[in-house]
Chain A
């Protein structure tokens, strides 16, 4: 990989560079999303200004928050299962970092280029459920337990429509490899959002549910469960959960952009050109922000579902719709 740099690097050097890039690739978009949408867009939609004091227009607010969380005491509840409680945020974070691995940022700018990319991404994203369950159980709090169980039920229910909504794209691209999917969209002459608009819609909704953002934020449901599985967390561990939540939002938006909006390509520009390795990540980031905008817009506007209504929506509406979408895609694929 990293061939565009045209230097031969030892394996360990390459690994370190990749690690740093990976860290940046997770933290930078996360910070951007939180600042742009959670701080600013949300405030503007509520006709207020949001943080303004730290830096111009409050740009350094995130750093301030970061410092604040680092200073706070890391509280363990007396009856908590200490190991599980302490490990939970890391499990969630690991799932987040593994997600970013398969994202292609340009023709050669990939961390790993595996043939089952999208499959890997969806599988890894489910690991976070375990972390959340651990948090819910380990806190030894009733609110956390209810939140953790809700999260588990919800994530399992929405894993299915998420996978099924992607299948349409996979059929059209004839590949599970994310780079191939991107290239196919370029060859195809249009982004898959046009033929796969049902798939895109389903993907958006399931991602919203996967991220436990409103209107699907029952696991945290402030007015019912305080903050669900996060209730007992404080300080650095809360911060880790927070990063994981919004990093996952960023990465899922990027995956959505890759699948449906042509990833790092620009229409009418040669996708294999050398410079795409440098522009590609930026293009991808722009498209990611576009999708994240939708996700956060929903988050700001809607009230939340009830647990049973959410399950009904998943099983009775989204899964049949996704299946129908697959069937139609397959028929069209064969017929055309």
Chain B
């Protein structure tokens, strides 16, 4: 808008001061009518929606987000550097702490990469037990999401159910590995110990409980009209955009991309021998992401049961030297972790410690789509979208 018509009205072309006043008046009017002053809202680093120390700087117009930018690194612990000064067995326990809610799954790709370099392969019984615990880690991880997403939308009850039933899964993990959160159970060439007696029967009953929990969530959350109102059509990720941003895991499958490394990867774990299904959803919105994860949890319980039924007998450790020195070389292994694709690129120079480890974590890539996704949504949808993308802070910052 120019000041022309006002100056014409007032006929004050020649008077400097009056022209200045007129211009001011026009500016004021522009502010009132056309644009309001934006507001910058710092969501985080301490905020209930970011469950952790993520910070999102959002420029708001009223309740609408104009621009949002996640700022990461508040919880950076320098694991990639730390791995260079720790021996291989010690690294296993460090990587536990990356995605701390499904930590068993963190160890597996690193161990596989190291096994590649050492050219050993774990015996089948170890691989199957690994797969079972991997899937149980997935269940423990996604159950948290199933409850937490509802809490982000204001329904407090679901998260209590999630924690209640997740406890059973964690107990089972603990009674094998000794650790609830940080199992440190994988060894290069196998696993640390065999299953204790009675574990298989108990785990099967726990899997039944998890399925009951999934049914409950379907009733309490998925079926709820308010939940659907809040989630359907919110944060839609088209498949192409998702791929371009490097999304993986359930976030991508919810956009209709039928890609799951458990089936499509070259993994040595037992997935290939099981009968299971990759769930996808065509919509790509927050609701689809919730739905896909719910189905995956249920599918995982069936997978665990199949594994426990078909568990091969035999040893659980391959022959490896007592002091682990990994021959020089490079290897990259990625697996389908609860949060998405996780990969370890390990370079060894034949020493006790890795020369360099690059960790590809799923949440970091999943978060990178947030600025694109948050543009133009309302403030309440920030919570929905962040919850449905599902990140674990440790997995972003590592």
Contacts and interface: CB of A to CB of B under 8 A. Distances in A.
Interface string B370-389: 00000000111111000100
Contacts of A143: 41
B49 A224 contact: yes
Nearest to B155: A303
Contacts of A303: 150, 153-155, 221, 224, 226-227, 230
Contact of A308 (B39, B153, B378): B378
Interface string B226-242: 11011000000000000
B291 to A, nearest CB: 15
B378 A306 contact: yes
B55 to A, nearest CB: 14
A302 interface: yes
B148 to A, nearest CB: 9
B166 to A, nearest CB: 13
Contacts of A217: 154
A205 to B, nearest CB: 12
A223 B154 contact: yes
A91 to B, nearest CB: 25
A318 interface: no
Given A305-B226, A309-B229, A223 B379 contact: no
Interface stretch (B157-165, B248-256, B268-276, B322-330): B157-165
Residue among B155, B221, B380 with the highest chain A CB neighbour number at 10 A? B380
Interface residues of B, number: 31
Nearest to B379: A224
Interface string A42-55: 10011110000000
A131 interface: no
A113 interface: no
B153 A223 contact: yes
A300 B157 contact: yes
B230 A224 contact: no
Interface string A35-65: 0000000100111100000000000000000
20 contacts: A42-B156, A46-B156, A47-B164, A214-B155, A221-B383, A224-B379, A224-B382, A301-B220, A302-B154, A302-B224, A303-B153, A303-B155, A304-B155, A304-B380, A305-B226, A305-B229, A306-B229, A306-B378, A307-B63, A309-B230
Interface of B: 39, 41, 47-49, 63, 150-157, 160-161, 164, 220-221, 224, 226-227, 229-230, 378-383, 387
